Amino acid sequence: MDDIVRSRIAQLYDASEVLVAVYDGFDRVRYANHAFRAAYFVGPDESPSWAEIMRRNHGLARGTVLRVPDLDAWLTSTLSRRGKTGFRAFETDLHDGRWLWMTEAVDVDGWMLCIASDISHIRADERTVRQDRDLAIKASYTDDLTGVANRRFLTARIEHILADHRTIGRLGCLAVIDIDNFKLVNDRFGHQMGDVVLQDFAHLIQGQLRRSDSFGRMGGEEFALTFPDTSLEHASLILERMLAVVRLSRPLGLHADFSYTFSAGITASRAGEPLSDFYRRADEALYRAKVSGRNQVQIFADPVGMANQAN
């Protein structure tokens, strides 16, 4: 596509009443037409993240209407699923009274194209039915305590990695994560403080993800992370960065001396294997991290896995 065509497309978008925006893999606006910037109060030279747009507009009662009691919890929950599938469509309303039909298309690098059209003319009762359906779907993929994705959502993302490897040969990685000595946290501080640690951990990890990565709670203090189109070495570096962030956290307030860590096991996908084998290998690597002293990442890398990675 030459510069003339790009310029003409931009002119057409800016003259349109349809809202158009492009976000990069870190969820920052890299392009937005006039209609989008006006609806979400984004300046012509700004490149805010989606979360920043939601946060500042919510505080000023403009942009998207967010009927949520806890904005931070809503952002954590929404970000755990935002952009994790190739395409989705949904409805949303603005404080200026408009009702929008929004579509999000995501490429393999995590860049997202958002297009929204005004559908305010549709009957309000029909909107309510669809919105209730969307809320029910969201709830079915959300962990109640931490607000991040649950086992059901993560299982689908793990299957997607295996399908990509099987159909197009694209390597992906799976990490299984466990908070270290979590039983001692509950025994020393009580289950309520244990819940605070789980919520803190989920919030910290969610903030370190790339768009294409998916993170969620599998149960108890066990979580999982998927890394599509990612080598073991790269995924391991991401986890090491997460370890460093978690080590610095002091989530219990009155107990300022309390800190915690996690252990993780990571493995790469293999063509044709079932999900159970994929998960088992990550779990075995997690076990090695635990018996080796915790507070570390271990890679499952046997001769078969290394040969598959090379291919």
Residues annotated catalytic, as ranges: 221
Closest CA to 187 of 197, 177, 175: 197
Rounded-to-integer distance, Cα 76 and Cα 73, Å: 5
E strand residue ranges, the chain: 19-23, 29-32, 87-93, 99-106, 112-118, 173-179, 214-219, 222-227, 262-268, 297-299
First to last CA, the chain: 33
Q: Are 269 and 174 in contact (CB under 8 A)?
A: yes
Q: Are 225 and 278 in contact (CB under 8 A)?
A: no
DSSP string, 220-249: TTEEEEEETT--HHHHHHHHHHHHHHHHT-
Rounded-to-integer distance, Cα 134 and Cα 141, Å: 11
Q: What is the helix (H) or strand (E) element at residue 168, kind and residue range?
A: helix 151-168
Rounded-to-integer distance, Cα 175 and Cα 223, Å: 8
